[in-house]
Structure 1
Amino acid sequence: MRALLVGGGRPGLELTRRLTADGHAVRFVTRHEAFVPEIQEAGGEAYIGDPDRIGSLRYGLDNVTVLLWLMGRAPAGDLHGSRLTMMMERTIDTTVRGMVYEGTAEGAAIVDRMATYNEIPYAILDTPREDQDAWVSAVLEDIDGVLAAQRGASA
Structure 2
Amino acid sequence: MRLLMVGGGRHGLALARELVADGHAVRAVTRDEAKRGELEAAGCECWIGDPDRIGTLRYALENVTVLLWLLAGADAEPLHGSRLKMMLEKTTDTTVRGVVYEAGGPFEASGLAEMEHALKTNEIPFAVLRADCADQAAWVARARAAIDEVLQVEHV
TM-score bin, normalised by smaller chain: over 0.9
Using the alignment, how far apart are the partners of 1:148 and 1:25 within structure 2?
Answer: 19
- 2:57 is paired with a residue whose SS is helix
Is 1:146 matched with 2:150?
yes
Using the alignment, how far apart are the partners of 2:55 and 2:5 within structure 1?
Answer: 16
CA displacement at 1:93 relative to structure 2: 1.1
CA displacement at 1:105 relative to structure 2: 1.8
The answer on whether the counterparts of 1:54 and 1:87 sit within 8 Å (CA) in structure 2 is yes
Using the alignment, how far apart are the partners of 2:151 and 2:121 within structure 1?
Answer: 18
Per mean C-alpha deviation after superposition, the further-off stretch among 97-106 and 23-32 is 97-106
The answer on whether the counterparts of 1:121 and 1:150 sit within 8 Å (CA) in structure 2 is no
The answer on whether the counterparts of 1:5 and 1:26 sit within 8 Å (CA) in structure 2 is yes
- 1:75 is paired with a residue whose SS is coil
Structure 1 counterpart of 2:67? 67
Among candidates 103, 125, 132, match of residue 128 of structure 1: 132
Q: Deviations over 1:44-80 (max 9, x none)?
A: 1000000000000011000000000000100141000
Q: Deviations over 1:72-91 (max 9, x none)?
A: 10014100010000000000
CA displacement at 1:116 relative to structure 2: 3.1
* TM-score, normalised by the number of residues in structure 1: 0.95
The answer on whether the counterparts of 1:3 and 1:64 sit within 8 Å (CA) in structure 2 is yes
Q: Letter of the 1:15 partner, please give it.
A: L
Structure 2 counterpart of 1:108? 112
Using the alignment, how far apart are the partners of 1:132 and 1:151 within structure 2?
Answer: 32
CA displacement at 1:132 relative to structure 2: 0.6
Gap runs ≥5 in structure 2 = none
Structure 2 counterpart of 1:92? 92
Quick one: percent identity of the two aligned structures? 58
- 1:124 is paired with a residue whose SS is strand
- 2:28 is paired with a residue whose SS is strand
CA displacement at 1:135 relative to structure 2: 0.5
Moved over 2 A (4+): none
Per mean C-alpha deviation after superposition, the further-off stretch among 19-28 and 106-115 is 106-115
CA displacement at 1:117 relative to structure 2: 2.1
Using the alignment, how far apart are the partners of 1:120 and 1:78 within structure 2?
Answer: 20
Cα RMSD (Å) = 1.1
Structure 2 counterpart of 1:77? 77
